[in-house]
Structure 1
Amino acid sequence: MIPVYGAPEGVDALVLVRRLGEHDGPVLHIARDDARLAALSEEIAFFGPEIEVISFPAWDCLPYDRVSPNGALVAERISALSRLQAEPDKKRIVLTTVNAALQKVAPRSALAGAGLSLAKGESVSLTDVAAFLEADGYRRTGMVMDAGEFSLRGGILDVFPAGASTPVRIDMFGDEIESLRQFDPETQRSGEPLLRLDFHPASELPLDSASVARFRTNWRELFGPKAVEDALYVSISEGRRHPGAEHYLPLFTESTETIFDYVAGASVSLDHQAEAAIEARLELIADHYAERRLPPRAGEPIFRPIPSSMLYLDKVGWDSALAKGPSFSFSPFTKPEGAAQGIEIGGRPAPILTGQQIAAFEAFAELKAKWAKAGRTIILAAWSFGSRERLTLMLKEHGISPARAIVSADEARALPAGTIALAVLPLERGFVTDRLAVVAEQDLLGSRIARPPKRKKRADQFIADATEIEAGDLVVHQDHGIGRYEGLETVTVNGAAHDCLKLIYDGGDKLFLPVENIDLLSRFGQEGDGVTLDKLGGASWQARKAKAKNRIQDMAAGLIRLAAERQMREAPLLAADDGAFAEFCARFPYTETEDQAKAIADVLEDFATGRPMDRLICGDVGFGKTEVALRAAFVAAMAGTQVAVVVPTTLLARQHFRSFSTRFAGLPIKVAQLSRLVTAKEATKVKAGLADGSINIVVGTHALMAQGISFSDLGLLIVDEEQHFGVKHKERLKELKADVHVLTLTATPIPRTLQLALTGVRDLSLITTPPVDRLAVRTFIMPFDSLVIKEAIAREKFRGGQIFCVVPRIEDLDPMAARLREIVPEIRTVMAHGRLAPSELERVMTEFGEGKYDILLATNIVESGLDMPAVNTLIVYRADMFGLAGLYQLRGRVGRGKQRGYAYLTWPPHHRLSAASEKRLEVMQTLDTLGAGFTLASHDLDLRGAGNLLGNEQSGHIREVGIELYQQMLEDAVNDLRAQNKQAQKIERDWTPNINLGLPVLIPEAYVADLPVRLGLYRRISALASDAESEALAAELVDRFGPIPPEVENLLSVVALKRACREANVEKLDAGPKGMVVTFRKNDFSNPVGLIRWIGTKGGLVKLRPDQKLALVRDMDVAARMALARDLLSNLVKLANEAEA
């Protein structure tokens, strides 16, 4: 092993690029961890953009774990191994980590036949392809959303190949592949055509019959005949995958190899500190193997570990692998005098320039001149495109030029001497070599820990399907009230098949609702405990609905009146000085997300109107609402007005005070705090400072709302989580709000329907984009396992972090504390729950925040509130007892800083989960990276959003009519009042036309087999608002499921007829062999004169009966009915529109 000295991070990437040019074959570099691997990959892309780089990451689970590695990681690993196996001698750089290189993998021979290639025009059996995919680890689902999933529907196969960025739709014509097209997993619409498709396996574990037979034999030989009762053995024997089975890979294959075998003859290099990482990993493997061989703790199942030599290299094997070819190790230090061997590269870290920004830029200008004189290329490395733009502006302001944006080192070298090359390159520290000077953004501005955001995945569609109504759910029918949905049934009426939703009401009464009228149905939105079903045909429902409607109308009127009054008042115009504002923004240690930037722009726009702002910033846990508040405070304070920040708890006050003090340090702005944590003497000073204007920003609790507090010139009020304040404090807030700008922050999710209802009534900015890596919390869902939990705690403790351990009930705290003492006796634990005295709870939280304890064992009181960046591991016991939104909020408490977050959602080992709990936990697993807090919470039927936003008095009405109908009624009330204000006609929505043409109306199971997907389509079809939307959905159906069957065509046509009926006020349309009858709603038609005239032109075919119904008399077969109904309604709509005109 030859040491390479003078190679700090960044220089090592340059050396690897150079080494590839010198070596005849691939270069293998072993990074110390995943973070270094990711950074190196980007650095090599910058210094050698033409070079092929293959990354081979490690599993993200522990040795001998009960859980499987992350699917996306496995896909990346298999893709890497497949490419290396296909072209082992190709010149390229292969990046891996110590953990990945130590672990054995399937042999090259196993991968040689594991893939599958399909081409357009080829003959193939889709059933065989599906069977092949299942054996290769792909999961069969109703709708393909993520890598490693496939869905088979008749002659269409959707598949998301492992390692691919988009899924592919395979369309068959008979046995021939008619087309291969990429499609968007969000919209499910097809896109670019392909000529060929190559699949890699989605799992490293082969489950073909030969591999399963080999596993069974090896298992019995290794563990004995009694071990055949093990759940893992039983699952694999039945051809089912089992969590953690990957850790038994050597039992499935004839032999194993390592990454070194896949790149035989490569030049190998090691990261600085890689040797230490190897020793630590080998020690961890040995510890875990020894621990797994111990008898299990009470209540935990037996774990049967295979010998570590089967799954991992030992030190001898490692040294032997390195000795097979040239190998190097990087060191950032200079070569010691008298060292026998080693190469000196001459690189060194760039100087750190941070401090006061003016001094930092002056120092940089001096260095730039010096480096330019020495002939060095000068590169300023920004973390993201956004920060590159900001740096460009700041260089200009400090008079440092010229500067040019570039994308590679080659472009930088081609610039004129002395030009600063601005690059997007994620370096923690810069470096200097003979020919190059690279200054990292951190060297100039301070620490930077965010990466540029990846493309955001929208979760709406996934969640809508995952939490669609299921049998047993409570639903609300607009006319009949609360019932229980029992499933979908096909009912035949007059020889025509109809899909109907079966609803059960009080006394067991049944109602069959045709699917085309599904728009009459909404989710009730609460658990069913204590809810009474309505009586079918009873008067109670209509009375409750009418009462709720009146109250909602009153509330809507109040909201609209408040909005109108606000528009009439004046408030100071506040504008930011561009230069000072840009420098203040540069202190933000992250890149703004799109939503954050939009929210900031909204606030600045409000400041410039001259009217009082009243904006609600609604953002998920840790999504950056505070930064919006900081920037708003900066603009207001620098404009000479005062800012008050009101928070519900003293702990939050202290947290915000620290945030504001840090960000405003060095500026002519005085920040003060007013809460119970401040002494009486200090409080008096603060109050005096507010009155005389010497204090610019004050952060406080309800103490700020006391009557004795007066402000010299209050310009901006920032309220954090207003719903936590009592009635009196809210009244005082209203007084404070009179003529000042108000910014309210909330983490309470607001369902999209409610956002629509409040459009124009309350200004709302949503921050739904997660900060980069914010949601990359690795979530493990598993029965409680002492070894895994022990290791999770030890890992967090080792990296200097803390742990939240959460249980559902206060009575669970002591048993869990005893369990933790048994597993990790050396760890310091403290308990917190809602029954502690406020002073005691504050003491506990403060001491935990100060690092005096390692674990906070608590109930779900940690779900919202404090930001504790040191807490990066969450352990939830009895996760099955928490709701989806609660689990999501809890997980949002960890992984908020630079460290990766881990969440362990556990339950007792022998406890059987209910189907609903299992589904909730599955959704949590799938939402590992979606960032779907808002969508999730509204679909989890969590009512806090509506209650908190509109006032608690409204939650009673929500219980009366259900959350979805409540939101619709609120939207109607707001729209009706607006319409009255504009003398427009009110549109009633609480009725739906009834159409019976004697035609089959349904989505056949043979066309869409998956029930949740079918129900989701029924809801989407019933909500179609125009012919254009209908055509777009029809095109999507053809795309996803193949040619549309007649029954579905009928369904789309009936929904179009319903739209026409609404316009013409037609309540019912019946058709039979002898004619058609139209019933007008309330026997009312808007243009009776025109109707009589039109009837007169029909030569007796159309008659107005004495009961005010319209009859079309003629013989008509089933096929003609739809066309005649369409024609009749089209005439009625035309007549109705003439009356309005």
Structure 2
Amino acid sequence: MNSSVTSKEIFKDKHLERLSRLIEGDQLELTLEGLTGSSQGLFLAQFWNAFRRPLTIIAPDTLHAENLLGDLRFFLKHHKLRQQPRLFPSWELLPYEPLSPLSEVSGERIDLLYKLGTGQCPILILTVEAALQKLIPRSLLDQMTYSLKVGDTADRELLEICLSENGYERTGLVETRNQFGIRGDILDVFLPSHNHPVRVEFFGDEIESIRHFDVTSQISIEEIQSIDILPVHEIVLNKNQVDSRIEKLREEADLRGIQPNRIEELTEKINCLKSFTGMEWLAPYFSERMESIFDYLPDSTVLVMQEPDIVKEKSDQFCGLVEEEFDRSISRNDMVAPPEQLFLNTDVLFENFRKKPVLNMAALKLHDDEQSAVVAFDIKSVPALYNHFDAFADSARQWQEEDQKVTVAAPTKGHVSRINELVLDKHLSVGVESGLIHQGFHWPELGVVFVAEHEIFGRSHKHRHRRRARSTRFAKGFQDLQAGDLLVHVDYGIGRYSKTKELKTGLGSGEFMEILFSGDEKLYIPMDGLASVQKYTGAGDSHPPLSKLGTVAWKRQKKKAKESILKMARELVKVYAERQLSTSHVYKQDPVLMQEFSDSFEYVETEDQISAIEDVLNDLENDKPMDRLICGDVGYGKTEVAMRAAFKVVLDKKQVAVLAPTTILAQQHLNTFRERFRSWPVSIDMVSRFRTPAEQKKTIQKAKEGALDIIIGTHRLLSKDVTFSNLGLLVIDEEQRFGVKHKEHLKKMRASVDILTLTATPIPRTLHFSLMGVRDLSVIETPPSDRLAVKSYIRKFDIQVVRDAILRELDRNGQVFFVHNQIQGIHSIAKLIQDAVPQVRIGVAHGQLQEQMLEKTMRQFLDGELDLLLSTSIIESGLDIPNANTIIINRADRFGLAQLYQLRGRVGRYKHQAYAYFLIPGTSVSDDARKRLEAIEEMSGLGAGFQLATKDLEIRGTGNMLGKNQSGQIATIGFDLYCQMMEETVRELKGEKIETRIETELNLQIRGFIPKDYIPELNERLEFYRRLQMVVHEESLTGIIKEMKDRCGALPEPVEKLKTLIEIRLLCQLLHISNARLNRNQVSFQIEKGTPIDPGKLAPLLGKRLTILGEFQMILTVDVGGWKENARQILDCLKQIRETLDDES
């Protein structure tokens, strides 16, 4: 393939001689000029391939660095590298900003430093800012690194101390980076540089296995051989040195006149030996010395400076910023290390470059090739192709006539296939390769041309691979149970969890849950009774009264709720039945064109997305009208599902209408649909207030005549003058945001066209399951793999905070949303921001602007002509601007939880770390507002929308979701019990058979339990008890036991007994046995009505050992032994009875 140009082709004799002199040290510097576009990536790839020397490349900024990283990976993909080129990230903080770098960033930096020191990083790219920052010394990093390998032994006590000193936090359940947990012979740890947490299993002190596990299911997923436990932070607080370091800190503080109370607060935090915000700015005080990236580089490293003039300019600018921000920190009375201890300056940076061979690379050609220190290349940019394949075809033919080999870099295999078809159609001799380059080039001397796909089609790909990784855990059961939480007991009502307590039983002592009811009455629930207990989730922030034991009040409440649920369920089932009787257009299958359209998708679909697409396409190929809801978190790919459906409908010569709640969202959909359908003869237009009346009239006429395939609009689409020639599909985005009148109109339309509704307002999963069968719903909950959770901060309004947030974003060439939800005063806010950050380009947007001005402002922001969009909440839904990764929300206390979540979803749609600032006034805020803000800060994980759905029930209620009447019933009995009753009611109304579960009491002189030393964490123990007691199938039991072994180690005898008792209970419940009791050598079984057992067929089964007493009792005689032997005989008996039932069936 063309990208595997050989080094011999690039390095002519004269070049090779100069490069060899550089490598051998005879010449310290060589300048390469004329390397335009992605040719720098090609040159460096072949340089590495020819000389196999480690490369460290200094780029002027993040944009240059990321472009070069992508180019290198493309040109090196045919070479065998143990490690891909890596980018050493900067902290993405302003100097002395009172924050800490994100743990993922610190983890990646420390991991790369370790790999550099051990020769595992052949090519490293970093920005000027990252190169200027000083680092902990290499000797200290080596000292704090703890390596574990399968088969080795480890001092477990020392390992725990090492984890704590390295900044890891001990917890019961490891769910986030920098946590570790110990359960018996199991160590779980989430290393910051790993995508999955790690589980280490010991046998004594020997490491028996190391494996990654899934953070959601907590189950192991792959075996690995070794791990390196590195420090979490770029500062190490060692307890043996803390006292002397604090003394050093105090001396410095006295010299600077820092207020004593500030130092006392600081020393208190340090003495805790735990991480605290902003501690990295103190790193020099906790290390004998600081080093730089150059101290970590292997001796054989070749340094590369990309665009040296720009690097020097950027370095000078950053050093000036460091001094300026240090002065600000002093005025804030912050205790931080001075600049010379934390950063290099420009002179020192360039001095370090003189210690190793240096390649200077520049796009401009300023010299001829005659100078010994300069190699000048004659490389041309690819001419403008006007976003049209025909223009590319003309250029390709001309290059072919000149005997040049042409290669197109396309982002996915689907795109490769599509371009290959176009190439064949035009009879071109062009290669197409999968991958990304940032800019094409023509290198005549080599006879090659490389073109980026976006240069042909006018789209710059920011390619994201997606993995199967579930979002944040949602239904935690008892995992987050705390004393004082409300619980619902199915039989006794609402109580308050107090504690667990050891009580004596017939077989010894046992663990019980203590629940407090009205009048301080206590109920003790044994661990095998937890299946009847649920955490209470209400509907609003008011808590229900505690139930009173010994009364019929709770039964009455459940009966009333059941009646209300029955009424609602009947309506749902009626609508469902009517739809089943209706017929709709059956869309033809066209797998070839559908596959071609799918292949042109720029990302890799998640399994959830694929599942949702299949659901929709199957609906369209059915003769029943589609009415499906696609529910997914912000930015998870719902629109692509809609576009697949639209494509299928348009193929059948039918029209599609896309309804959006706001003008801005309608415009976003227009842009997205036109971009996605650009290679297909599909006509798409919009009606909204961004269009003049004349333009709208023309568009509506085209829809009426059938000259328009897809029409996008706001509620204007529901006007009486809008008619369609052949409407087949209506896509509704965020239906809940339309008014009552519009919803009634939509309800009528449901009878005649297929409906696809999209929502980013998540539905609690328990409600989703309870409505299955009457509401077609597809859930997308898989995040893009390289997407980082948005970092959220709640701050009192301070222009300094605003300034720092804006500057940090501008520093990485990004953009900012600033939400101020009052039109009055919005221009005063604009002036305040402009005064604080003079260089920022601000645009103002709100609903009262003239249409042309609003559209112009939005277009300028989308095109990068504005740095900051100051707007009302009109940007809440659908706006997708990948380069905007900071949002500042003023008066966040005035927004609802769902609004805050939607607004935060405007950022974090690309691989950069995104930030959300929720600003509140200096005065106190209401309790509700405080709860909302605490919830939004807590729910910072990817896919947290499903958590939000439940939290929103607690704060706001379910009026929007189910109506006020149902909201009242949920408040009375709790959400989980409500959903359970809803599911049962729906199934009853649909005529499905609902089996009544027999409650079986076992008295077999076997005591099974989970020992505290096996699962020390109470909440985890309670959750395992609850799940085990809710098991209804052997497969489920096997899965939980397998998980328990994986997470906690080999089963101790008490857990083996518990497992055996559950196996017996499952068989008894299957056979309708309500009681099994062992007395001496006899087990009596009490059989209930409805049993599948035929007593007449049992007599010959076990001979004299089994006696039938009447219709509802049988006695099994056992050979008395230990508990295992007794249990084996009971299980054998029950299994043989079950087999007779299997034979009959």
CA distance in 2, matches of 1:419, 1:654: 36
The equivalent of 2:270 in structure 1 is 236
Secondary structure at 1:964 match in 2:
helix
Match of 1:269 among 294, 304, 326: 304
CA pair 1028-633 structure 1, distance change in 2 beyond 3 A: closer
User: How high is the TM-score relative to the length of structure 2?
Assistant: 0.84
Q: How does the TM-score come out when normalised to structure 1?
A: 0.84
Partner of 2:379: 347
- Aligned partner of 1:698: which letter? I
CA 1:253–1:672 in structure 2 vs 1: closer, same or farther (change >3 Å)? Answer: closer
Aligned position for 1:966: 978
Q: Distance in 2 between matches of 1:917 and 1:1071?
A: 57
Work out whether 1:78 is the aligned partner of 2:110: yes
Structure 2 gaps of 5+ residues are: 1-28
2-structure distance, mates of 1:254, 1:703 = 69
Secondary structure of the corresponding residue to residue 476 of structure 2: helix
The equivalent of 1:288 in structure 2 is 325
Partner of 1:608: 621
The verdict on how the C-alpha distance between 1:1061 and 1:730 changes in structure 2, with shifts beyond 3 A counting, is farther
Q: CA deviation at 1:873?
A: 1.4
Post-superposition Cα deviations, 1:717-774, rounded to whole Å, max 9, x if no partner, equal 2222223334443332232222322211111213333333344433333332334655
CA drift of 1:953 comes to 5.3
User: What do the CA deviations read for 1:291-329 (whole angstroms, capped 9, x no partner)?
Assistant: 1111x3xxxxx4222211110011222222222233333
* Correspondence for 1:425: 436
The answer on whether the counterparts of 1:570 and 1:610 sit within 8 Å (CA) in structure 2 is yes
- Equivalent residue of 1:30, what SS? strand
Task: Give me the whole-angstrom Cα distance separating, in 2, the residues matched to 1:229 and 1:810.
Answer: 44
1:1024 aligns with 2:1052: no
- Offset at residue 491 of structure 1 (A): 2.8
Q: Establish whether residue 988 from structure 1 lines up as the match of residue 996 from structure 2.
A: yes
Deviation for aligned residue 1:697? 3.4
Distance (whole Å) between structure 2 residues aligned to residue 797 and residue 570 of structure 1: 55
Please say if 1:768 is aligned against 2:796: no
Q: Separation in 2 of the partners of 1:677 and 1:811? A: 23
Determine the C-alpha separation between the residues in 2 that align with 1:949 and 1:529. Answer: 18
Contact 2:186 2:200 (8 Å CA) reproduced: yes
CA distance in 2 between partners of 1:806 and 1:500 (Å): 52
What does residue 488 of structure 2 align with?
476
Measure, in 2, the Cα distance between the counterparts of 1:193 and 1:667. Answer: 46
SS in 1 for 2:499: strand
Counterparts of 1:447-486 in structure 2 under 5 Å? 447-459=459-471, 461=473, 464=476, 468-486=480-498
Change (3 A) 1:941 1:1045: farther
Query: 2:933 & 2:155 partners in 1: Cα distance?
Result: 36
Counterparts of 1:748 and 1:913, CA distance in 2: 24
For residue 648 of structure 1, report the CA deviation from its aligned partner: 3.3
Which residue does 2:508 correspond to in 1?
Answer: 496
SS in structure 1 opposite 2:712?
strand
CA distance in structure 2 between the partners assigned to 1:356 and 1:1100 by the alignment: 85
Matches within 5 A, 1:509-908: 509-526=521-538, 529-575=542-588, 592-657=605-670, 659-660=672-673, 671-674=684-687, 688-706=701-719, 709-771=722-784, 773-775=786-788, 777-779=790-792, 787-796=800-809, 799=813, 801-805=815-819, 849=858, 864=877, 866-867=879-880, 871-875=884-888, 888-896=901-909, 901-904=914-917
Is 2:182 the counterpart of 1:152? yes
Structure-2 separation of matches of 1:882 and 1:680: 34
* Amino acid across the alignment from 2:1013: A
**What is the DSSP-based 3-state SS (H/G/I as helix, E as strand, rest coil) of the residue aligned with 1:131?**
helix
1:176 and 1:666, CA in 2 relative to 1: closer, same or farther beyond 3 A?
closer
Which of 1018, 1041, 1044 is the aligned partner of 1:1037?
Answer: 1044
Output the amino acid matched with 2:434.
A
User: How far 1:898 sits from its partner (Å)?
Assistant: 8.2
Q: Cα distance 1:422–1:1131, how it changes in 2: closer, same or farther (>3 A)?
A: closer
Q: Report the Cα offset of residue 55 of structure 1.
A: 4.2
* 1:7 match: 35
CA deviation after TM superposition for structure 1 residue 1132, in Å: 7.3
**Greater alpha carbon shift after TM alignment, 476-485 vs 596-605:** 596-605
Give the Cα–Cα distance (whole angstroms) in 2 for the partners of residues 422 and 203 of structure 1: 40
- Among residues 335, 339, 364, which one is paired with 1:333 in the alignment? 364
CA distance in 2 between partners of 1:308 and 1:237 (Å): 25
- 8 Å Cα contact 2:781/2:943 also seen in 1: yes
Contact 1:385 1:452 in 2 (8 A): no
Deviations 1:334-387 (A, max 9, x none): 335699763213333333434344x2453364256346x23x3x3321223443
2:994 aligned partner, one-letter code: K
Partner of 2:56: 28
Amino acid at match of 1:289: F
CA contact (8 A) 1:454 1:772 kept: yes
Residues 1:43 and 2:66 are matched in the alignment: no
Other structure's SS at 2:159 match: helix
Matched, 1:1006 2:1013: yes
Q: Residue 250 of structure 1 corresponds to which residue in structure 2?
A: 284
Corresponding residue for 2:400?
Answer: 369
Distance in 2 (alpha carbons) for counterparts of 1:195 and 1:795 = 40
Task: Tell which deviates more after alignment, 256-265 or 783-792.
Answer: 783-792
Instruction: Provide the residue aligned with 1:170 in structure 2.
Output: 200
Per-residue deviation, 1:245: 0.9
Instruction: Report sequence identity in percent.
Output: 33
In 1, Cα distance between equivalents of 2:596 and 2:1135: 62
SS at match of 2:96: coil
The equivalent position to 2:342 in structure 1, one of 308, 311, 320, is 311
Aligned mates of 1:292, 1:41 — CA distance in 2 = 35
Aligned to 1:484, what secondary structure does the other structure show? strand
Structure 1 CA distance, aligned partners of 2:772 and 2:1052?
40
Aligned residue type for 2:976: E
CA displacement 1:798-817 (0-9 Å, x = unmatched): 7473323579x999999999
Cα gap change, 1:274/1:992 in structure 2, threshold over 3 Å: closer, same or farther?
A: farther
Q: 1:105 offset after TM fit, Å? A: 0.8
CA deviation digits over 1:222-281, x for unaligned, max 9?
112926744332111232221221121111111111111222563322223433332332
Q: Assess, with a 3 A threshold, how the Cα gap between structure 1 residues 467 and 797 changes in structure 2: closer, same or farther.
A: farther
The letter for the 1-side match of 2:377 is I
Shift of 1:993: 4.0
What do the CA deviations read for 1:633-682 (whole angstroms, capped 9, x no partner)?
34434533232223334554454455556666797655454556666666
* 1:56 shift after superposition: 2.8
Q: Which string of whole-angstrom CA distances, capped at 9 and with x for unpartnered residues, describes residues 825-878 of structure 1?
A: 998999999xxxx86899998797466998778898865455566753123579
The number of equivalent residue pairs is 1097
* Matched-pair contact (CA < 8 Å) for 2:932–2:955: no
Q: Flag the 1:269–1:677 CA change in 2: closer, same or farther, 3 A.
A: closer
Q: Classify the secondary structure of the residue corresponding to 1:379.
A: strand
Cα 1:259–1:774 change in 2 (3 A) is: closer
Change (3 A) 1:644 1:885: closer
The match for 1:411 is none
The answer to whether the Cα contact below 8 Å between 2:93 and 2:808 also exists between their aligned partners in 1 is no
Q: Which amino acid in the other structure matches residue 1016 of structure 2?
A: A
1:742 alignment partner, SS class: strand
**SS in structure 1 opposite 2:906?**
coil
1:186-211 deviation per Cα after TM superposition (whole angstroms, max 9, x unaligned): 54444665665443333322222344
Q: Deviations over 1:157-204 (max 9, x none)?
A: 233445345544333333444444454545444466566544333332
Which of 126, 137, 162 does residue 167 from structure 2 map onto?
Answer: 137
